[in-house]
Amino acid sequence: MASHIVGYPRMGPKRELKFALESFWDKKSSAEDLKKVAADLRSSIWKQMSGAGIKYIPSNTFSYYDQVLDTTSMLGAVPPRYNWTGGEIGYDTYFSMARGNASVPAMEMTKWFDTNYHFIVPELGPDVKFSYASHKAVDEFKEAKALGVDTVPVLIGPVSYLLLSKPAKGVEKTFSLLSLLPKIIPIYKEVISELKAAGASWIQFDEPTLVLDLDSQQLQAFTAAYADLESTLSGLNVLIETYFADLTPEAYKTLIGLKGVTAYGLDLVRGTQTTDLVKKDFPKGKYLFAGVVDGRNIWANDLASSLSTLQALEAVVGKDKLVVSTSCSLLHTAVDLVNETKLDDEIKSWLAFAAQKVVEVNALAKALAGQKDEAFFSSNAAAQASRKSSPRVTNAAVQKAADALKGSDHRRATNVSARLDAQQKKLNLPILPTTTIGSFPQTVELRRVRREFKANKISEDDYVKAIKEEIKKVVNLQEELDIDVLVHGEPEASILQRNDMVEYFGEQLSGFAFTVNGWVQSYGSRCVKPPIIYGDVSRPKAMTVFWSSTAQSMTKRPMKGMLTGPVTILNWSFVRNDQPRFETCYQIALAIKDEVEDLEKAGINVIQIDEAALREGLPLRKSEHTFYLKWAVHSFRITNCGVKDTTQIHTHMCYSNFNDIIHSIIDMDADVITIENSRSDEKLLSVFREGVKYGAGIGPGVYDIHSPRIPSTEEIADRINKMLAVLETKILWVNPDCGLKTRKYEEVKPALNNMVAAAKQLRTKLASAK
């Protein structure tokens, strides 16, 4: 019985690729140094899977940024602003598309389906001249072959690539991206022909958009694309891989009807109903790559249950046509549990990271072939039983409090307009008030202090003193820049990662466990270390009150209390899979509610409760949206339903498409929302142009913080003017897209200076127009 892995983490067990990329970007190492690190990582991954007995090992899943940008490079679909003149795309062009450069901004970045991973959105139109401009897929296949490893090269499928794209600036929004299929198929044919010539016997096309709500025209595009590729694919075994959700009956029918296709990869973890479709109708003689090992969570597989599922499928598809696989790429999990030296043995026995999941896949394949490892299965069963019965998982008081939430929608008693009036009397802010999102640059020295404190190398007094000094520095800088509502910069969570505040809060909540090296790629070189929610959640004591109060004592200006919201903590964690996600979210909401009320009692008048990942958790199927949004929005309202009218509640969201959930965002009933806007070409503003009325405060981001580029005062003023065309002056805030922790002070200071100057310039203009 054969085994298969959809994809594997790229960063390396110690984030080797992250550090190599950042060293290269900072011009501290050469392109050859970067290539060597990448080649060593690929070699290690291929040999690991080969040694574990995996038959179908993927290649071309390694990426310096993301696999969609790799496909854009393969197709030569470089936007004109990057001045690419043809030929093989090099690092300069590739990383300029991803990160921007001193002259031009980066391409839009958005979430990869409903994960915390991101991709660079292709910008396409009728005038794009496609050409075969990156031979990465073929080069990596040859590289593996030279190491003695026969791999399955993986490509983003042509239809999914187009469906994940957007019309370029200046192209009509109604432009049919699928009309470009005839232009990109010839490039795919070139790649396929080269792979065949290099000796490939299998090829994998990832077509994850098949799990979305597709209309008949979109489904027909799959049929047309693979009919066109059929003759080129002749002689190859072709796997179409889908993941993250069930297929609709219509999509499943389209999939199994594709010409030239040998095998179908299905997510049977999140796509539980797809199993029924397989049992009803599976084409004779085709392979089923059954994704029974979860590629998106870190819980050990229930091997006995998975084996039972596989045996039932074997009876349908045939013994020699069933391949055991992961549900999706293991990119979304941590690398190797062996590196976790501080997790206690009980919790560790419940877990499986990417390396362990490879072993699980092979163990299931062997068991299905009659070579069951009884000791391995017995150990797994004991761990499953331990997790179900462990007293540390359940807290009766927490469950009772969460149950009591039913029957109320937890809205604040006064409407937002009246609250804003009360808050303005207290805060006395100017029009177009300026603020930032929360974090400031996390310096090497700051990270050293936190690291040494965690390692007990410095005392708590020395740690507190160092953090206070950093807060004072950040407060003074903001006052010098004349920012209106300040932040303390989050130095107490200084590990330079995008969801470090999630880890910071998780460390202080019960029911959470933490890893030392459980890093997961979010985008580019950015990695996150998601907490593990293994049990019921509660807040034993105040978490941020000391730091927020300390910061407020350093200034007369309003200082934001900074919290992460319950939905974001949930979506940026590895969540327990033994109860519904909404139940866990309600427990987190109650813990955050306690913190909000303690901040208010301490005199903090502005409290930001970030829900950066609310949109990220939106189910891929529209039929499931209403239920998710109801409990997600409710969870947010629970956190702040008890505060006074004069306490201003902010929230923040970033890097997702918000237009389709704008009414749910309004229903959150926050006083002010700051939201990503600049990198997506002010896409957010279109919803207001279309007539949606928003009465609360709103700060669409005026510049992209994920690029090192410093925007000019004029550029920011132009963005604010676009906002003023669709939003009332009295509700508009001026702020960056996101937190500043990933930037350097030499980038942050001039950018914020220009932002404040633009706001003042427009205040003067608006005052003179009265």
Amino acid at 475: V
Q: Alpha carbon of 600 to those of 47, 369, 652, 687, 730: distances in Å?
A: 55, 62, 19, 33, 25
Q: Is 299 annotated as a binding residue?
A: no
Tokens 């460390």: give the residue: 507
DSSP string, 640-672: HTTS-TTSEEEEEE-SS--GGGHHHHHHT--SE
Phi and psi torsions of 348, nearest 5°:
-60, -35
Q: Are 436 and 736 in contact (CB under 8 A)?
A: yes
Instruction: Please give the helix or strand (H or E) that residue 521 lies within, else none.
Output: strand 520-523
Q: Is 526 annotated as a binding residue?
A: yes
Identify the three-state secondary structure at position 172: coil
Nearest to 384, CA basis, from 303, 272, 295: 303
Q: How many CA atoms lie within 13 A of 318 on its CB side?
A: 9
What is the predicted pLDDT for the residue at 498?
38
- Contacts (Cβ under 8 Å, ≥6 apart) of 415: none
Q: pTM for the full model?
A: 0.91
Identify the three-state secondary structure at position 637: helix
- Contacts (Cβ under 8 Å, ≥6 apart) of 689: 726
Domains of the chain and CATH, by start: 2-64+82-87+123-164+175-389 (3.20.20.210), 433-769 (3.20.20.210)
What is the predicted pLDDT for the residue at 676?
81
- pLDDT at 523 > cutoff 60: yes
Phi and psi torsions of 411, nearest 5°:
-95, 150
DSSP string, 689-705: HTT----SEEEE-SS-T
Q: Is 527 annotated as a binding residue?
A: yes
- pLDDT at 474 > cutoff 70: yes
| pLDDT top residue among 475 and 443 | 475
* Mean pLDDT of the 606-625 span: 93
* Mean pLDDT of the 340-347 span: 92
Give strand pairing partners of 322: 288
Q: Describe the chain by its helix, strand, coil percentages, rounded to 5.
A: 45, 15, 40
* Mean pLDDT of the 481-495 span: 84
Q: What is the tens place of the pLDDT at every residue in 409-459? A: 899 999 999 999 999 999 999 999 999 998 899 888 888 888 888 788 999
Give strand pairing partners of 699: 674
What is the predicted pLDDT for the residue at 497?
37
Q: Is 667 annotated as a binding residue?
A: yes
Give strand pairing partners of 291: 267, 325
Alpha-carbon distance 6 to 265, whole Å?
9
Alpha-carbon distance 620 to 209, whole Å?
10
* Mean pLDDT of the 62-67 span: 96
* Mean pLDDT of the 470-488 span: 97
- pLDDT at 496 > cutoff 50: no
Q: Is 18 annotated as a binding residue?
A: yes
Nearest to 51, CA basis, from 39, 59, 61, 43: 43
What is the predicted pLDDT for the residue at 681?
59
**Helix ranges restricted to H, 64-126:** 67-74, 91-99
Q: What is the tens place of the pLDDT at every residue in 656-692? A: 567 788 889 999 999 999 988 776 656 667 777 677 7
Alpha-carbon distance 703 to 707, whole Å?
9
**Nearest-10 crossing angle of helices 545-552, 460-481:** 50
What is the predicted pLDDT for the residue at 178?
98
Q: Is 490 annotated as a binding residue?
A: yes
Nearest to 711, CA basis, from 759, 752, 762, 763: 752
* Mean pLDDT of the 187-194 span: 98
Amino acid at 176: S
Indicate if 634 belongs to the active site: no
Q: Is 641 annotated as a binding residue?
A: no
Q: Considering 118, 332, 488, 706, which one is annotated as catalytic?
A: 706
Angle at 612 between CA 608 and CA 618, to 5 degrees: 135
- pLDDT at 106 > cutoff 80: yes
CA gyration radius for the chain? Answer: 26
Q: Is 681 annotated as a binding residue?
A: no
Q: Are 187 and 75 in contact (CB under 8 A)?
A: yes
Alpha-carbon distance 591 to 589, whole Å?
5
Residue 450: CB atoms within 10 Å: 20
**Residue positions counted in the chain:** 770
Q: Is 118 annotated as a binding residue?
A: no
Q: Are 178 and 220 in contact (CB under 8 A)?
A: no
* Mean pLDDT of the 541-557 span: 95
Q: Are 525 and 576 in contact (CB under 8 A)?
A: no
Q: Are 703 and 714 in contact (CB under 8 A)?
A: no
- pLDDT at 762 > cutoff 60: yes
Identify the band that residue 541 occupies on the pLDDT scale cut at 50, 70 and 90: very high
- pLDDT at 594 > cutoff 90: yes
Nearest to 763, CA basis, from 510, 555, 482, 503: 482
Q: Alpha carbon of 178 to those of 184, 211, 221: distances in Å?
A: 10, 17, 7
* Mean pLDDT of the 213-227 span: 98
Q: What is the tens place of the pLDDT at every residue in 279-308? A: 999 999 999 999 999 999 999 999 999 999
| Mean pLDDT taken over the chain | 94
Tokens standing for 201? Answer: 């016997």
What is the predicted pLDDT for the residue at 275?
94
